[in-house]
Structure 1
Amino acid sequence: MIYTIHINVMPLKNLLDPQGKAVLSGLANLGLADVKDVRVGKRVTLQIEADREDAARAIAEEASKKLLANAVMEYFEIEVG
């Protein structure tokens, strides 16, 4: 079976996010001052062939830990969709 896995990678909450700050500044310049914080991350979608959902999730977790997310600066969340 083919599973579609979405992995959201975001900067750790206690670290500065320079890209998010730049977007926040740009939004304020556009008159959207009600936006109080922006965090910029990435979303990766994988198509994984596996016998069971938990096996597909395990593959996605391994890929995230080894390649997609930098554990020093980022965290990730996995969604099966």
Structure 2
Amino acid sequence: MARVVVDVVLKPEILDPQGQAILGALGRLGVTGVTGVRQGKHFELEVEDALDGDALARIADTLLANPVIENYSIRRV
């Protein structure tokens, strides 16, 4: 068995209201130096070693992410 991590974030051109809210809250907390925040989703999958990259991409592209507005990255850990 292997563990695969899929991280999904909104594409840069898509407005991220939650990220903007976090950025505003950081300022109210007195935290300086953070100039941008993008929120996303993090998935950890336990998969058989034989599951190939194409199958993982199909899972991410059709189930975990909306490819119209989101980008994703896949890595085995």
Q: TM-score normalized by structure 1?
A: 0.87
CA–CA distance in 2 between the matches of 1:51 and 1:30? Answer: 47
Residue identity (%): 32
1:23-49 Cα shifts (integer Å, max 9, x gaps): 000000000132100000011011111
- Unmatched runs of 5 consecutive residues or more in structure 1: none
Q: How many pairs are equivalent?
A: 77
What's the CA shift for 1:14? Answer: 1.2
Provide the secondary structure at the position in 2 that maps to 1:23: helix
| Counterpart in the other structure of 1:64 | 60
Q: TM-score normalized by structure 2?
A: 0.92
Give every structure 1 segment of 4 or more consecutive aligned residues whose post-TM-superposition deviation is greater than 2 Å: none
Counterpart of 1:37, as a letter, is G
Give the RMSD, CA atoms, in angstroms. Answer: 1.2
Counterpart of 2:41, as a letter, is K
- Unmatched runs of 5 consecutive residues or more in structure 2: none
What's the CA shift for 1:15? Answer: 1.2
